[in-house]
Structure 1
Amino acid sequence: MVKILIVSDSHGWKTELANVIDRHRDLVDHMIHCGDSELETDAKQLEGVNVVRGNCDWGNDFPEEVMLQITDNILLYTTHGHHYNVKMTYVPLSYRAEEVGARIVCFGHSHVATTFKENEVIYINPGSIRLPRNRKEQTYCLCTIETNSIDVTFYSIEGNIVEDLSNTYII
């Protein structure tokens, strides 16, 4: 079993981001920030976190994308999403997922918490812990990968499960 913490669009919040990360740090194998942290690369809040650059992250300190080989058959791809027009469509992002061979795609930018499966690829946008859109909860999520399933559980910034966003996929 592999557990991954996924957060995005914290937009300068340090204490709140640290609280979320510290809550799960010892319980997960990987931590991902999908961009717009608006923090420096050496910020203590991001220690041990794979971070991509969002459109509000200035400079070139963070990479545009991160790929993690989670298991032999699961590559996780992370990008912020602004270069793929994710506020309008997921098609360009799906092309990139296919191009790199991703089974899981994590992205942010829209601040809309969602997960869905299309063409055997699981897409995860954890929403925003600062400025959510389309719902009131400030969210992040945990992705748990098991032999035959991938569970995506969304949480409010306070650490409560958001059931109606969460989903389990058979792989």
Structure 2
Amino acid sequence: MRILVVSDTHGDKQTLHRVILSQPSSQVIIHLGDGQDDIEDEKFLYPEKMFLQVRGNCDWGCALPPVGQIQLENRKIFYTHGNLYNVKYGLDEIKLAARLQKADIVLFGHTHVPYTEYEKGLYFMNPGSLRGANATYGILDLVPQGVVTNLIQVK
């Protein structure tokens, strides 16, 4: 299963649309906040895809949840924007939260800095920001052999 992971679109609907078009095999799209309305058109264009979303610190007055969890391909994914876990100052809080949730994978944004790591049975990914000259996104492949994380720069 391929999962497209995006964050911090901040109104850049065109880049979001181009990225979704560039990843046709993605079955799930997870938006990690700061762009609550940016993905609405895509939901109508791709009704066959599963869309998951959380609110970010710039999604004022938003009814989206601050965190989400889902079990896909026998792996528990914990996802959030990251501001509630102070990820700009380190990953200790989000690591603890993910481990308390017994997650296999933790996804977060907020810092606009792409990042991926594997530590003691836990995969981490921050896809970076999908806005601006250095826009990036993440691909998460869940395969029988394991988990593969990739960070991709938008061209």
Structure 1 residues 53-92: Cα deviation after superposition (integer angstroms, max 9, x where no partner): 00001113211111110122x1011100000000111111
- Which residue identity is paired with 1:23? S
Query: Aligned partner of 1:116: which letter?
Result: E
Report runs of 4+ in structure 1 exceeding 4 Å deviation: none
The residue number in structure 2 matching 1:107 is 108
1:148 equivalent in alignment to 2:145 = yes
Q: How does 1:23-102 map to 2 (within 5 A)?
A: 23-24=22-23, 26-39=24-37, 43-47=40-44, 48-72=50-74, 74-102=75-103
- Determine the C-alpha separation between the residues in 2 that align with 1:68 and 1:139: 23
Alignment coverage as a number of residue pairs: 150
Q: Are residues 78 and 61 of structure 1, via their aligned partners in 2, closer, same or farther at CA, if it must alter by over 3 Å?
A: same
8 Å CA contact 2:5–2:29 kept in 1: the answer is: yes
Change (3 A) 1:4 1:90: same
Q: TM-score, normalised by structure 2?
A: 0.89
Asked whether the equivalents of residues 5 and 30 of structure 1 are also in contact (C-alpha less than 8 Å), the reply is yes
Percent identity between the aligned chains?
A: 33
Gaps of 5+ in 2: 45-49
8 Å contact kept, 1:75–1:101: yes
